């Protein structure tokens, strides 16, 4: 139950935030203590970051949340990856800015595991932790994750090959043990009130600008198809594709008109 002394924490879809907040997330991604535990640890440019966010809008196997404080300032990211709805399993990961500590990670982990099993309906939750990040391995194990393997010399970082820990948690184990976890870490959890702002419909693009982006992506495939046919010198076969390109271009034009009219 929320109290006046609790810090209100919201998990909000990254794709729903304004550009300024999205770019703040890039700053957190580029913090040294965040990058060092990522598979790719280069400094991320603005175009690369915004391109990743755009791809998320059309990727139904990923859900990425931003951790917001009471002033709606980003503190970090929690993501669901490799969603497999057939086998009801998924991966997850999270990272926080350097100053967002003091038990927030534990509160997020408890709340998000419940979200994975109760709201998303998964039966198995997996994660990967780079060798050397012993504190995170230890934290996951506190929340009933079991180490399911260690893949040695699995990735290349700073010209050295290092391993990766594989951890997993079943819904059955979580339901059997979460009451004990709740009691054991009650003092930490009571510092925060964590809410996850998510509806399945939020995963689909519904705004005109998102529809334009999706239409452009479809048309790029058509342009590549027509290019291949042209190279093969099959103009008659290419005619239906050209017609489809023109139809989608008209769709894009109409959506652009709608967008500019709404913002006039």
Sheet hosting strand 63-68, strand order edge to edge: 146-157, 160-170, 124-130, 89-96, 74-84, 63-68, 7-13, 192-197
Please give the share of the chain, as a percent, with pLDDT higher than 70. 86
Domain spanning 7-203 has what CATH number? 3.40.630.30
- Residue 251 three-state SS: helix
Tokens 């009691």 map to which residue? 183
pLDDT of residue 75: 97
Nearest C-alpha neighbor of 34 from the set 86, 118, 98, 121: 98
39 near 95, Cβ under 8 Å?
A: no
CA 109 to chain centre: 15
Q: How far apart are CA 222 and CA 246, in angstroms?
A: 10
In this prediction, residue 164 carries a pLDDT of 97
The low-confidence residues of the chain, meaning pLDDT below 70, are 1-4, 201-211, 213-214, 217-218, 221-223, 225-231, 233, 263-264
At residue 99, the 3 state secondary structure works out as: coil
Rounded-to-integer distance, Cα 196 and Cα 225, Å:
42
Whole-prediction pTM value?
A: 0.76
pLDDT of residue 89: 98
pLDDT at position 204: 44
Cα–Cα dist 162/158, whole Å: 10
d(CA 198, CA 30): 26
What number of other Cβ atoms are within 10 A of residue 7's Cβ? 14
pLDDT value, residue 236? 73
Instruction: Give me 1's structure tokens.
Output: 């139950």
pLDDT score recorded for residue 191: 93
Q: Of 107, 28, 122, which is closest to residue 66 (Cα–Cα)?
A: 28
What integer pLDDT is reported at residue 73 of this predicted model?
Answer: 95
Q: pLDDT digit string (tens) for 184-195?
A: 999 999 999 999
pLDDT on residue 264: 64
């Amino acid at each position: 139950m929320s109290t006046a002394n609790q810090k209100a924490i919201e998990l909000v879809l990254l794709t729903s935030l304004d550009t300024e907040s999205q770019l703040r997330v890039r700053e957190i991604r580029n913090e040294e203590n965040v990058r060092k535990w990522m598979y790719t640890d280069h400094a991320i440019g603005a175009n690369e970051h915004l391109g990743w966010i755009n791809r998320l809008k059309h990727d139904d196997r990923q859900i990425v949340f931003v951790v917001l404080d009471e002033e709606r300032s980003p503190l970090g990211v929690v993501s669901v990856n490799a969603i497999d709805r057939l086998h009801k399993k998924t991966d997850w990961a999270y990272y926080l800015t350097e100053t967002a500590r003091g038990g927030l990670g534990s509160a997020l982990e408890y709340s998000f595991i419940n979200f994975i099993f109760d709201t998303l309906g998964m039966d198995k939750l997996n994660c990967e932790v780079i060798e050397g990040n012993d504190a995170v391995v230890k934290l996951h194990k506190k929340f009933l994750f079991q180490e399911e393997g260690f893949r040695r010399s699995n990735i290349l970082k700073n010209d050295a090959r290092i391993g990766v820990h594989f951890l997993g948690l079943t819904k059955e184990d979580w339901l059997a043990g979460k009451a004990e976890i709740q009691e054991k870490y009650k003092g930490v959890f009571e510092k925060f009130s964590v809410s996850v702002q998510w509806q399945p419909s939020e995963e689909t693009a519904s705004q005109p600008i998102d529809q334009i982006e999706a239409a452009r992506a479809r048309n790029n495939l058509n342009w590549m198809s027509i290019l291949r046919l042209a190279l093969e010198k099959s103009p008659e076969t290419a005619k239906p594709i050209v017609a489809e390109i023109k139809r989608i271009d008209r769709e894009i034009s109409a959506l652009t008109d709608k967008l500019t009219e709404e913002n006039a």
